[in-house]
Amino acid sequence: MARIPPMVLRRYICGGHIPTKGCLRMKTTRARATALSPVTPQGTRLLHTDANTAIPEGTVAFRKQLKDEAKKRKAEGLGSKKAKINNQVLEKWKLTVGIEIHAQLNTPRKLFSNAASTINEEPNTHVALFDLAMPGSQPKFQKETLIPAVRAALALNCQISTSSRFDRKHYFHWDQPAGYQITQYYQPFARNGYMTLYAHDGIAKEDGDEIRIGIKQVQMEQDTAKTMTQPGGIHLLDFNRVGLPLIEIITLPQIHHPSTAAAFVRKVQILLDAVDACVLGMESGGLRADVNVSVRRRDGTVSDAGHTYAGVEGLGQRTEIKNLSSFKAVEDAIIAERDRQIEVLEAGGKIEGETRGWTIGSSGTRRLRGKEGEVDYRYMPDPELGPVLISPALIEHLQNTLGVLPDAEITILTEEYGLTIKDAMSLVSLDNGGRAEFFRMAVDRIAGDSASAKQTLGRLCGNWVLHELGGLTLESGETASDLNFDASGNSLMPLEDFVSLIKFLEAGKITGKTSKKVLRTLFENSLSGASTDVEKIIEENDLWFRPMSTEEYQNLARSILDPKVVEQILKGQNGKIMFLVGQMMKMGEDGQVDPQKAREVLEHIIEESRT
């Protein structure tokens, strides 16, 4: 790469200099954001950096915006469960949706430069010359990005091409300094995949027990810079994001219900996470979806369905809603756009091919621009990049090391470990699959080879791993992924100690209530590096279960017996006995009172008082 002297660079980006590692760093920490100012009186645009840029009047905090919008929606009755259910199918119109998902690959570097892939760091601190399209800079394909990309495509059942290419897609916008995006258009690296969605994935009930959505292709491409639009025509730009490696997953237009579309995006996120292809979910901006929506009349009376896509015929004119960043937004935007299109068509109008936008909580999509066609993009092979060659041996290796995918894991957890679908799905989605692994190792260690013990213990441990441990992680403020439930030896919840806790509980040596206390101590000790020896914790805190003698039961029973209640029971109100049992359980030490035994003792004393 040609070396560009700092002086020259400064003409392009105010205050920038070339750091040793090839990234462009803003000179002062004051320069937190780069603002692209509106057109100046001289008619030129200026880049300026100023941390003290006054926030224009009328700027509303994002959190407040969300709250206000949610309130408004509630008041309008939008988004209620009822509205959702009724909104999946329309009598006269058939909806068709195709989705493009952009997911950020789990790699340390950008796609064509060695600048670091970062999130939430100071803006404009990880930017290489090539990322800014500086004259003389050239792309250098970072081979490591292929590993997560191929893993993702394999998990989506795609065929991987051993040779693929990069192309330039031209458009002019400030978020793309080169004036084109490098993507794969003519020869993507993966094609012809599919994903199967089941009822428990949350598809519309009209789609039955399962539905298969075809994946046309998966391609690698660069991300754009992040634009933060402010009131007053000001746009803040963060070039840390420009050039980050993305995959674009393109489905066939085979989705016909809004909730199935949302379920698809959710499942892609879980799958990409499970195979370590991506690290960030929608909530952190690591995954974004564009939805393409069209409608056509079910009875075919008007010929407004002459469009075709990848062999799928008879489609209505599509519009595209870009950049959706939540599963709910996917569903809501589709419903709103479908309804808008129907309204236009029913009024005798025509749907234009457009790119549209959607804001959380709004009740309609809005036009952004006319849809660019392939001709507008002037796709061309990138002359600076050679073909991407992937050896069959690498593909085979990645296929063999994909691990158990979420669907297979859910089947194992429900059929072998007795979990409900809901618990199985929660387990699988936590800690990158590490929580489910921890659960299985714990149960296997206690149940041994017994299939029935596996079922009973599975249900017991499921509750502990999911809810009790889950509660503790939430409370401690640790992020679940930091907890590293992978039984790797330095896990924050040591597997062996957890297993002995469950064994003591199973053997009746400690009560359920005590076990919760011990788990908490275990967890806290583990965080602080203190001893996690369960037996020692129980011993030192005097927590072993000590069954009460019959005499102790009798004394406890007498202490709570109210003559009036006894009289009512003697008159035949037997239900009152359970009330007394409840009182005894409350009075006794932690979980020490066995309700069956308490009842026997109470009945005996009451019978005695009859004579």
Q: Summarize as ranges the residues that interact with ligand ATP (CB under 6 A).
A: 96-100, 250-253, 290, 292-294, 307, 309, 315-316, 318, 320
Smallest CA-to-CA distance from 167 within 142, 179, 185, 149 is with 185
Which range in 77-85, 312-320, 444-452, 468-476 contacts Mg ion by CB under 5 A? Answer: 312-320
100 counts as binding Mg ion under rule CB under 5 A = yes
Question: Please, what is the minimum distance in Å from the beta carbon of residue 25 to ligand ATP?
Answer: 32
Instruction: Show the DSSP H helices in 53-145 as ranges.
Output: 62-76, 81-86
b/e map of 135-168 (b: 16 or more CB within 10 Å)? eebebbbbeebbbbbbbbbbbbebebbeebbbbb
Q: Which does 522 bind (CB under 5 to 8 A by kind): ligand ATP, Mg ion, none?
A: none
Q: Which does 486 bind (CB under 5 to 8 A by kind): Mg ion, ligand ATP, none?
A: none
**Residue 399 CA from chain centroid, whole number:** 23
Residue 278 near residue 287 (C-beta atoms within 8 A): yes
Tell me the two tokens of residue 348. 């005798």
Q: Which does 252 bind (CB under 5 to 8 A by kind): ligand ATP, Mg ion, none?
A: ligand ATP
Question: Please, what is the minimum distance in Å from the beta carbon of residue 320 to Mg ion?
Answer: 5
Beta bridge partners of 195: 213
Kindly tell me which of 290 and 354 has the beta carbon lying closer to Mg ion.
290
**Inter-CA distances, 93 with 188, 299, 601, Å:** 34, 8, 69
Give the angle subtended at the CA of 162 by the CAs of 161 and 168, to the nearest 5°.
70
377 counts as binding Mg ion under rule CB under 5 A = no
Question: Please, what is the minimum distance in Å from the beta carbon of residue 347 to Mg ion?
Answer: 27
Pairing of strands 234-238, 307-309: unpaired
Question: Please, what is the minimum distance in Å from the beta carbon of residue 364 to ligand ATP?
Answer: 19
* Contacts (Cβ under 8 Å, ≥6 apart) of 33: 49, 51, 53, 123, 124, 228, 236, 237, 238
Q: Which does 98 bind (CB under 5 to 8 A by kind): ligand ATP, Mg ion, none?
A: ligand ATP
For 608, counting Cβ atoms within 10 Å of its Cβ (0-12 exposed, 13-18 middle, 19+ buried), the class is exposed
Kindly tell me which of 109 and 356 has the beta carbon lying closer to Mg ion.
356
Tell me the two tokens of residue 335. 């419903």
Kindly tell me which of 218 and 424 has the beta carbon lying closer to Mg ion.
218
323 counts as binding Mg ion under rule CB under 5 A = no
CA–CA separation, 334 and 202 (whole Å): 16
Q: Classify 494 as helix, strand or coil.
A: coil
Which range in 6-14, 95-103, 510-518, 543-551 contacts Mg ion by CB under 5 A? Answer: 95-103
Q: Which does 465 bind (CB under 5 to 8 A by kind): Mg ion, ligand ATP, none?
A: none
Element (H, E) at 35: strand 34-36
Question: Please, what is the minimum distance in Å from the beta carbon of residue 91 to ligand ATP?
Answer: 20
Tell me the two tokens of residue 176. 């793309």
Kindly tell me which of 100 and 468 has the beta carbon lying closer to Mg ion.
100
Kindly tell me which of 304 and 320 has the beta carbon lying closer to Mg ion.
320
Kindly tell me which of 297 and 307 has the beta carbon lying closer to ligand ATP.
307
Q: Count of residues for the chain?
A: 611
Which range in 63-71, 99-107, 142-150, 509-517 contacts Mg ion by CB under 5 A? Answer: 99-107
Q: Which does 461 bind (CB under 5 to 8 A by kind): Mg ion, ligand ATP, none?
A: none
Query: How many CA atoms lie less than 13 Å away from 37 in the CB half-sphere?
Result: 15
Kindly tell me which of 273 and 320 has the beta carbon lying closer to Mg ion.
320
**Which residues in 221-250 contact Mg ion (CB under 5 A)?**
none
Smallest CA-to-CA distance from 18 within 150, 115, 142 is with 115
Question: Please, what is the minimum distance in Å from the beta carbon of residue 259 to Mg ion?
Answer: 21
**Inter-CA distances, 242 with 54, 126, 237, 378, 532, Å:** 26, 9, 10, 21, 46
69 counts as binding Mg ion under rule CB under 5 A = no
Give the angle subtended at the CA of 58 by the CAs of 54 and 61, to the nearest 5°.
85
**Which residues in 266-295 contact Mg ion (CB under 5 A)?**
290
Q: Which does 281 bind (CB under 5 to 8 A by kind): ligand ATP, Mg ion, none?
A: none
Question: Please, what is the minimum distance in Å from the beta carbon of residue 344 to ligand ATP?
Answer: 15
Kindly tell me which of 293 and 469 has the beta carbon lying closer to ligand ATP.
293
379 counts as binding Mg ion under rule CB under 5 A = no
- State the distance between the two ends of the chain, measured CA to CA, in whole angstroms: 104
What is the number of the residue whose Cβ is closest to ligand ATP?
98
CA–CA separation, 446 and 332 (whole Å): 46
Question: Please, what is the minimum distance in Å from the beta carbon of residue 590 to ligand ATP?
Answer: 58
Kindly tell me which of 290 and 437 has the beta carbon lying closer to Mg ion.
290
Q: Which does 307 bind (CB under 5 to 8 A by kind): Mg ion, ligand ATP, none?
A: ligand ATP
Binding site for Mg ion (CB under 5 A): 100, 290, 320
